[in-house]
Chains A and B, each alone.
Chain A
């Protein structure tokens, strides 16, 4: 069972990143759940979702202790760093989060300037895709090539395939981590 919290501001593709992860998980034959940020948290511009991917049945869709946190903003990193298990992975949007920030010493921190990369790639809305590239590269949760296929198909199915060229650039840059 892998528990993932994806968090940031509304408009950063937080929920889409979660949806892409469960699509990939489902295609790998796993049980998956996705739970959106819900309730008063929906107001005020923050967004997060809870994703679980498991070979066993999934009990609660909510993540109590996360294996992985994707933090797209400083408030998101501040809020969810504490929810990581010891040994968990924190992916940080280094374009926004202060470079001098200190972190727990029992977790792995991966810093990627996802906002800058997405702008350079010509797809400012693709920061979430950059983050998924980094996730695929640094964790063994997904095979990078498979996740990329899932992303391309997901947007094609939604009639948004025209952004896929730059999505692929975003994803590949995320895999590189810079």
Chain B
């Protein structure tokens, strides 16, 4: 298929259809609303089901039902709305149900604002709802990657029977880029033995409920499930990392700027590299083994407190200093990031 120009949110919606998804329910909230609007007409064209739900709670629970019935289903939200999704995500995780939830991140706490932000990292990666779970989290850095990860998310959800989250952001969702949507695949709702479809006489009924209630060894089962995801699903890109003294770590929109920072810095003779996590959970700790010459790591996040920086510290332990460079409301700028990186590296070298 030829490349077309699409807005990130629209492309992500179209990618879900290409993955065979035929169920969407959501609620309007900026900056994810284009997904809802796009599917309001496009889902009809492909014979799927679109519901504008009365709330984010209803939206995620409709997805819960559709997933339990064997469909590929997803919902989307942002900020305050994504908080309301957490109840449902916790229930999806508890019931071992495959479904996809997209958070097009906006800025801030509480209402925050509709502009750019990356402040939902903790909520996305720590299991934002109650209980003892995590979800796979995929973070696209372009419109094309929104498409590719949306499609991958359904496969991963079904591979592990687990909800998968997409961590998009206002910049990736709102921008238009050239993109290629792969050939569509069909999804058979009867392919899973576990999905509800009606209990034949003489057979055992299917019970889609909390795994704790019926698995003979749920503790071992869940421990292994999360360990497998951690071992097998770390995704990342590494640029100029092997000889880098200062390694930037950034995802989503911030990572695009950091890629440019590496080019500009290298041209000035700075040994700088970039690790771009594509999976936020499992956090790609394998990438940090590549950074053999690193003297310091600096995360670049659109957050005041710095959130992913926690995971970098966990990944490298005491090996070298880690800090965070934050910007909010505005996308971090190349010059500012490079200066911060050089200053941090000089400080660390001075301390050595």
Contacts and interface: CB of A to CB of B under 8 A. Distances in A.
Contacts of B113: 39
A38 B170 contact: yes
Contact of A38 (B115, B176, B178, B256): B115
A73 B347 CA distance: 49
Nearest to B331: A60
B324 interface: no
Contacts of B31: 38
B342 to A, nearest CB: 18
A23 B176 CA distance: 11
Nearest to B113: A39
B323 interface: no
Nearest to B176: A34
Interface in A55-83: 57-62, 64
Interface in B295-351: 331, 333-334
Nearest to A23: B5
A19 B176 contact: yes
A58 B115 contact: no
A32 B5 contact: yes
B259 A59 contact: yes
Given A32-B5, A39-B114, A58 B174 contact: no
Residue from A22, A23, A61, A64 having most chain B Cβ neighbours under 10 A: A61
Given A19-B5, A39-B113, A59-B334, A26 B178 contact: yes
B171 A61 contact: yes
A36 interface: yes
Contacts of A61: 171, 175
Contacts of B114: 38-39
Q: How large is the interface on A (under 10, 10 to 19, 20 to 34, 35 or more residues)?
A: 10 to 19
Interface string B257-274: 101100000000000000
Q: How large is the interface on B (under 10, 10 to 19, 20 to 34, 35 or more residues)?
A: 20 to 34
A35 interface: yes
Interface string A16-56: 00010011001000011111101100000000000000000
B257 A33 contact: no
Given A23-B5, A59-B256, A33 B177 contact: yes
Contact of A33 (B115, B170, B175, B334): B175
Interface in B87-146: 113-115
B230 to A, nearest CB: 30
A23 B178 CA distance: 9
A60 B170 CA distance: 12
A142 B333 CA distance: 28
A60 B256 CA distance: 7
A58 B171 CA distance: 13
A41 B177 CA distance: 22
A65 B114 CA distance: 24
B176 A22 contact: yes
Given A58-B256, A59-B256, A39 B333 contact: no
A22 B5 contact: yes
B3 interface: yes
A33 B260 contact: no
Interface in A87-139: none
B115 A64 contact: no
B331 A62 contact: yes
Contacts of B260: 57, 59
Nearest to B255: A59
A58 B170 CA distance: 17
B232 to A, nearest CB: 29
A60 B176 CA distance: 12
A57 B141 CA distance: 12
17 contacts: A19-B5, A19-B176, A23-B5, A26-B3, A31-B178, A34-B5, A35-B174, A35-B176, A36-B174, A38-B174, A57-B260, A59-B257, A59-B259, A59-B334, A60-B253, A61-B171, A61-B175
Closest 9 CB pairs of A and B: A34-B176, A59-B260, A61-B175, A59-B256, A59-B257, A60-B331, A26-B178, A39-B115, A35-B175
Interface of A: 19, 22-23, 26, 31-36, 38-39, 57-62, 64
Given A19-B176, A38-B170, 7 more contacts: A22-B5, A26-B178, A33-B176, A34-B177, A35-B171, A59-B260, A60-B253
